[in-house]
Amino acid sequence: MVRPPWGRRWIAASVCGAALGAMLARAVPAATAPASTGTVASRAQRARGELADASGHRLDGRGASIAIIDTGIDPTHPAFALAGRGSKVAAVLSAEACIIDGEESPYTSEVSSDPACVVPVPPANVDAGHGGHGTMVGGVAVGDAYQLPDGTEVGGVALGARLIVISTTAGLVGIDNAFAWILAHHAAPCGAGVPASECPPIKVVNCSWGASTPVIAHLQDALARAGVVTVWANGNTGGDGSTDHSNPDATDDQTPGVIAVAAYDDHGTGTRDGELASTSSRGQASQPTTWPDVSAPGVNIISACRPYQAICPAVETEPPRSGPGPNDVDTYFIGSGTSFAAPEVAGIVAMLFQADPAASAGQIEDALKSTAYKFKFGVPYQALGPYTSSYDKGAGLVDAYAASLALGARRLGGDPGAGR
């Protein structure tokens, strides 16, 4: 199997050049094509516009926080602004407090969370010196939807969700601490005194990177039992099925509620009959446990970034776009990779928990797989348990609309959704 050894860490964005040094895996240029938000092909946009929860609220991920373990985030970016109410970024923390001489404090068989290991940081641009990867990922998950002055449509998936961001820097240090903190604090991530309307429970964790540490599997299993889904980027090393290129953090763990995401290309048109990205990591054809679970848009995705963040000019194949305000110059960039497919799914997971707040992590994964759209590109699907799947694209392209209906979402002005 072609897998990174434990301790080798990578960020799952395909980039041009050597931005972020060796931390960015398999640097490749993104193809020039129209920018995409991904939300048309995934039908997240349709679900937001046509479906509601049991209380009649539109499906937008409200009531859920998405935890992003990454380089950090720029909470001042206009993508995260709440009109007159601050930011969609409910908390920014650092996981480095227990790092001594560059080594992480190890967890053994006992999982615990030391409050000193993950600490709040000031509400500023903590991603400025760490590359911008987390900012782009956050924009895909929850970034506000609007039209830029040049006419480009931007916007993330779960517009009503909140973000809890744990910075591990571009070196991905303290990742075990980050997982342990989420396990201990997912029910009230901002503290017992902060209302859930401002800082909802964490329902999904996004990991757009790979680290291959044995502790993570133990922690994400515990999170799944607690009702928290973990979404992983499957990697950007391509493959032909002869060997396993998938992210082992996701595919080695077959616990329901741990989801590996491949990168789909909608050609910037929102089509659901596009292609799988050539760089999207494939599993080994003869070992179904190595296959990705689902695919989501991850090619030429436009999202939040700043020109001084290293990843932004590195992923850009076209000039950056400026945001809605007069000071929002060059605030949107285009990137490709499973890094951006994963938060598409994480945002959809937040919407699914709004549709069915009592759903288990396994039921969320089942809804995604059982309703995935069977786009034809690549190798044929074959029976795999209750689903059909393939070593390149998993069960198919995520369908937020169909998955939400499967979990009881209601059509606006109509009866509870039944079927598709």
Average pLDDT over residues 343-367: 99
Nearest of 208, 200, 211, 212 to residue 259 by alpha carbon:
208
Instruction: State the pLDDT at residue 114.
Output: 55
> What does the block give as tokens for 344?
């598409």
pLDDT in tens, 77-94: 999 999 777 899 999 998
Q: With respect to residue 418, please indicate whether it lies within any of the assigned structural domains.
A: no
Q: With respect to residue 4, please indicate whether it lies within any of the assigned structural domains.
A: no
Instruction: State the pLDDT at residue 107.
Output: 36
Instruction: State the pLDDT at residue 126.
Output: 65
Instruction: State the pLDDT at residue 415.
Output: 52
| Residues facing 52 on adjacent strands | 58, 410
CATH of residue 264's domain is 3.40.50.200
pLDDT in tens, 235-279: 999 999 999 999 988 787 788 999 999 999 999 999 999 999 999
Is the distance from CB of 342 to CB of 349 less than 8 angstroms? no
Q: List alpha helices for 170-263, DSSP H.
A: 175-185, 214-225, 248-251
Instruction: State the pLDDT at residue 11.
Output: 60
pLDDT in tens, 263-322: 999 999 999 999 999 999 999 999 999 999 999 999 999 999 988 888 777 766 678 899
Instruction: State the pLDDT at residue 120.
Output: 75
Q: With respect to residue 57, please indicate whether it lies within any of the assigned structural domains.
A: yes
DSSP 50-100: HEE-TTS-BSS-TT-EEEEEES---TTSGGGEETTTEESEEEEEES-TTEE
Nearest of 206, 179, 261 to residue 64 by alpha carbon:
206
Q: With respect to residue 300, please indicate whether it lies within any of the assigned structural domains.
A: yes
Q: With respect to residue 380, please indicate whether it lies within any of the assigned structural domains.
A: yes
Provide, for the chain, the percentages of residues in helix, strand and coil under a 3-state DSSP scheme, each rounded to the nearest 5: 20, 20, 55
Q: Residue 58 pLDDT more than 60?
A: yes
Place of tokens 């590359």: 131
Q: Which residue has the higher pLDDT, 188 or 105?
A: 188
d(CA 65, CA 90): 8
* First-to-final CA distance of the chain: 39
For the stretch 115-121, contacts whose Cβ atoms lie closer than 8 Å and that sit 24 or more positions apart, written own/partner, are 117/174, 117/177, 117/180, 117/181, 118/93, 118/94, 118/166, 118/174, 118/177, 118/178, 118/181, 119/93, 119/94, 120/91, 120/92, 120/93, 120/94, 121/92, 121/93, 121/94, 121/167
Q: With respect to residue 45, please indicate whether it lies within any of the assigned structural domains.
A: yes
Share of the chain above pLDDT 70, in %: 82
Largest distance between two CA atoms of the chain: 60
Structural domains counted in the chain: 1
Instruction: State the pLDDT at residue 32.
Output: 53
Instruction: State the pLDDT at residue 173.
Output: 74
Range of the domain at 188: 10-411
184 pLDDT tier (thresholds 50, 70, 90): very high
Q: Residue 194 pLDDT more than 70?
A: yes
Q: With respect to residue 417, please indicate whether it lies within any of the assigned structural domains.
A: no
pLDDT in tens, 87-125: 999 999 988 766 544 444 443 333 344 545 777 776 655
Q: Residue 21 pLDDT more than 70?
A: no
Q: Mean pLDDT across the chain, nearest whole number?
A: 85
Q: What is the H or E stretch that residue 2 is in?
A: none
Q: With respect to residue 3, please indicate whether it lies within any of the assigned structural domains.
A: no
- pTM of the full structure: 0.90
Q: Residue 2 pLDDT more than 50?
A: no
